[in-house]
Amino acid sequence: MLLRFAFAELNLFRVSAMVPEYNEAALALLKKFGFVQEVCRRKALERDGQRWDLYVFGLLSEEWQGQAKG
Amino acid sequence: MNDLFRGELVRFAFEEPEARAKAEVRWQRDTEFIRLADDDPSQLASEKKIKEWFDHQAEEGPKSERVSFSVRTLEDDKYIGFLGLWIDRIHSEAWVGLGIGEREFWSKGYGSDMMKLCQQYVFAELGLARLSLGLHEYNPRALRSYEKCGFRLEGRTRRDIAREGRRYDSLWMGILREEWLQMQQGENR
């Protein structure tokens, strides 16, 4: 729904998302929707006295179009 | 102890708004420079307007989340560029952006020397855990220089820069304090 709005209504070229490595639910959701993990910002977050990676994901309009058809 | 503001080729300096505006009004006309330095659209502003921005910055004075330096050569004391840091103390990270507006100082090691000073400032003075930067894929000169300074390429966001009727990737790089410390030990041996 949100992706349809982004790609079909706003005509965006790409949608990006940033997720910390400990958020497994968000990681699973992004992968389910075809987002590609593009960047791993190593040890970029400090939480609970520990350092965590921060991932950047991207989904391109053409990738989304391909999914919608397939 | 090392001099924090003095490298082998350059030193960090503070320029008054007049001098910064005088240089900036020339540098902004070099669209290749602007396009390498940033993804904002190139624009032209008057020297007066630019000076007002710098006046505003100077009035605000030093801030803990934003540090900026002007850069001068040691040899001729020529004002050639700038380096800025955006600091996130919560996550102990800084982002760096730098530029050399005077083209005759490109590809001669000045940028690397600026970056070495910057790393020393971030890790040895501010005590942060991580230093990050971003660049465009069409800037291979910068990529080589940053790799030489110990940054690792951490990924690329695909085709997020639109220019010249096509799309380019953005590259993301980072260096951790441990990696920097290890490099320092290697150099002192």
Cβ contact A13–B162 (<8 Å)? yes
Given the cut 0.85, state whether the ipTM is greater than it.
yes
Mutate which of A18, A36, A38 to test chain B, going by most B C-beta atoms within 10 A?
A: A38
Domain count, chain B: 1
Distance of residue B156 Cα from the nearest chain A Cα, in angstroms? 6
Residue found under tokens 């700038």 = B82
Q: How confident is the model at residue B172 (pLDDT cuts 50, 70, 90)?
A: very high
Taking residues B6-11, what's their average pLDDT?
98
Give the span between the Cα atoms of B32 and B47, in whole angstroms: 20
Cβ contact B158–A36 (<8 Å)? yes
Asked whether B31 and B37 are in contact (CB, 8 A), the reply is no
CATH number of residue B101's parent domain: 3.40.630.30
Question: What is the structure's pLDDT at B186?
Answer: 86
Domain that holds residue A26: 2-69
Taking residues B123-133, what's their average pLDDT?
97
B64 assigned to some structural domain: yes
**Chain A residues with CB-CB distance to B130 below 8 A:** 42-44
pLDDT digits (tens, 9 = 90+) for B50-64: 999 999 998 988 899
Distance of residue A55 Cα from the nearest chain B Cα, in angstroms? 9
Q: Work out whether the CA dihedral B143, B148, B149, B152 comes out positive or negative.
A: positive
Domain that holds residue B159: 10-188
Interface of A with B (CB under 8 A): 13-14, 16, 36-46, 51, 56, 58, 60
Using alpha carbons, select from B79, B136, B154, B141 the residue that is nearest to residue B112. B141
Considering only the beta carbons, identify the residue of B152, B156, B176 that sits closest to A38: B156
Q: pTM, whole model, 2 decimals?
A: 0.94
In chain A, the residue whose alpha carbon lies closest to the alpha carbon of B167 is A13
**Chain B residues with CB-CB distance to A50 below 8 A:** none
B4 assigned to some structural domain: no
B2 assigned to some structural domain: no
- Look at A52-61, B50-59, B76-85, B146-155 and tell me which has the smallest mean pLDDT: B50-59
B60 assigned to some structural domain: yes
What does the radius of gyration of chain A's CA atoms come to, in whole angstroms? 14
Asked whether A68 and A24 are in contact (CB, 8 A), the reply is no
B3 assigned to some structural domain: no
Distance of residue A16 Cα from the nearest chain B Cα, in angstroms? 8
What b-and-e string marks burial along B85-108, b requiring 16 or more CB atoms within 10 Å of the CB? bebbeebbbbebebbbbbeebeee
Give the span between the Cα atoms of A51 and B155, in whole angstroms: 19
Q: Is B132 on the interface with A (CB under 8 A)?
A: yes
**Chain A residues with CB-CB distance to B160 below 8 A:** 13-14, 16, 58
SS (H, E, C) chain B: CCCCCECCCEEEECCCHHHHHHHHHHHCCCHHHHHHHCCCCCCCCCHHHHHHHHHHHHHHCCCCCEEEEEEEECCCCCEEEEEEEEEECCCCEEEEEEEECCHHHCCCCHHHHHHHHHHHHHHHHCCCCEEEEEEECCCHHHHHHHHHCCCEEEEEEEEEEEECCEEEEEEEEEEEHHHHHHHHHHHHC
CATH number of residue A54's parent domain: 3.40.630.30
Question: What is the structure's pLDDT at A70?
Answer: 55
B43 assigned to some structural domain: yes
Q: Residue A65 is inside which H or E element, if any?
A: helix A61-69
Using alpha carbons, select from B67, B42, B47 the residue that is nearest to residue B57. B67
In chain A, the residue whose alpha carbon lies closest to the alpha carbon of B94 is A44
Question: What is the structure's pLDDT at B189?
Answer: 62
B5 assigned to some structural domain: no
Question: What is the structure's pLDDT at A1?
Answer: 79
Asked whether B15 and B79 are in contact (CB, 8 A), the reply is yes
